[in-house]
């Protein structure tokens, strides 16, 4: 069972993916995390990716596709996988189809206001990178990490104005990809606007879409 998750930043794909991954015993593969890990470790891929990232450019399709292809060929993906962050373009989607048959594409949606609230409320520990949310999971002491006591910061890309621009860019760039999967009759719309306490409602939608696609 091979699943692709689509949706703008802050829509909650990662949280739901972790639940689905555990339930179905298939890996959740975040391409963003894979690239950041490769850069941190200084691997050959990481060094190549870092050149583009440092220049403020997107990592080329060929490089990302190669990374994903190698990852899904690993033993833990034998029963399937959940892809998060790839594909980002219809060209990547066509490349993916050449080495992995996709069973379902879940497109997570939520109102911009909801997404902005979720992302702008995030705070990250400057030292240990632990994450919090000023509304949903606040630290015990305002502005300080529960784990190490260091200062909590708001990343520059988590400020409302930047988030609005990120959402605008996402909508423009991802429409062709969504249209591609809709034409392939693989796309299911997932209402991800529910509060974290009602995450079961989002998971249930995903399960229904998956069941329908593989039946």
Residue 116 resides in a domain: no
Structure-token pair, residue 112:
């911009």
Structure-token pair, residue 113:
């206001």
Asked if the model's pLDDT at residue 150 lies above 80, the reply is yes
Residue 24 resides in a domain: yes
Nearest to 193 by CA among 11, 8, 4: 11
What does the angle CA 2 – CA 86 – CA 188 come to, to the nearest 5 degrees?
55
Q: Per DSSP, which regions of the chain are E strands?
A: 2-6, 28-30, 81-84, 104-109, 122-125, 131-133, 152-153, 187-191
The span from the CA of 70 to the CA of 38, in Å, is 13
Residue 160 resides in a domain: no
The span from the CA of 58 to the CA of 65, in Å, is 13
Residue 39's pLDDT is 83
| Active centre residues (catalytic) | 13, 88, 122, 155, 166
- The mean per-residue pLDDT over the stretch 135-156 comes to 95
Three-state SS at 171 = helix
Identify the domain containing residue 38 by its residue range: 2-110+168-214
- The mean per-residue pLDDT over the stretch 141-164 comes to 93
- The mean per-residue pLDDT over the stretch 133-150 comes to 95
Report which DSSP code applies to 186: -
- The mean per-residue pLDDT over the stretch 192-203 comes to 94
Q: Where residue 193 sits, what CATH number does that domain have?
A: 3.40.50.300
DSSP element (H, E) containing 179? helix 160-183
Average pLDDT, the chain: 92
- The mean per-residue pLDDT over the stretch 108-117 comes to 95
Residue 191 resides in a domain: yes
DSSP element (H, E) containing 137? none
Residue 125 resides in a domain: no
Residue 196 resides in a domain: yes
Residue 142 resides in a domain: no
Contacts of 151 (CB under 8 A, 6+ apart): 125, 126, 127, 143, 144, 145
Residue 162 resides in a domain: no
Q: What is the pLDDT of residues 8-19, one digit of tens each?
A: 988 999 999 999
**Residues, the chain, total?**
215
What number of H helices and E strands is found in the chain? 8, 8
The total number of structural domains in the chain stands at 1
Report which DSSP code applies to 38: H
Confidence label for 32 from pLDDT (cuts 50, 70 and 90): confident
Q: What is the pLDDT of residues 35-62, one digit of tens each?
A: 888 888 888 888 888 888 777 777 888 8
Strand partners, 123: 132
């Amino acid at each position: 069972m091979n699943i692709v998750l689509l949706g703008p930043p802050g829509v909650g794909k990662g949280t739901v993916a972790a639940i689905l991954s555990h339930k179905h015993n298939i890996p959740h593969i975040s391409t963003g995390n894979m690239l950041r890990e490769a850069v941190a470790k200084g691997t050959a891929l990481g060094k190549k990716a870092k050149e583009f990232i440092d220049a403020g450019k997107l990592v080329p399709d060929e490089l990302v596709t190669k990374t994903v292809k190698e990852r899904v060929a690993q033993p833990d993906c034998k029963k399937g996988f959940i892809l998060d962050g790839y594909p980002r373009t219809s060209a990547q989607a066509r490349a993916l189809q050449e080495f992995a048959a996709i069973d379902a594409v879940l497109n997570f949606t939520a109102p911009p206001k909801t997404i902005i609230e979720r992302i702008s409320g995030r705070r990250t520990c400057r030292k240990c990178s632990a994450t919090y949310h000023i509304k949903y999971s606040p630290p015990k002491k305002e502005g300080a990490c529960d784990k190490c006591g260091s200062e909590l910061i708001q990343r520059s890309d988590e400020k409302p104005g930047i988030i609005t621009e990120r959402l605008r860019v996402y909508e423009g760039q991802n429409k062709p990809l969504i249209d591609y999967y809709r034409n392939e009759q693989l796309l299911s719309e997932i209402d991800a606007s529910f509060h974290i306490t009602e995450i079961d409602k989002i998971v249930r939608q995903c399960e229904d879409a998956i069941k329908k696609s593989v039946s």
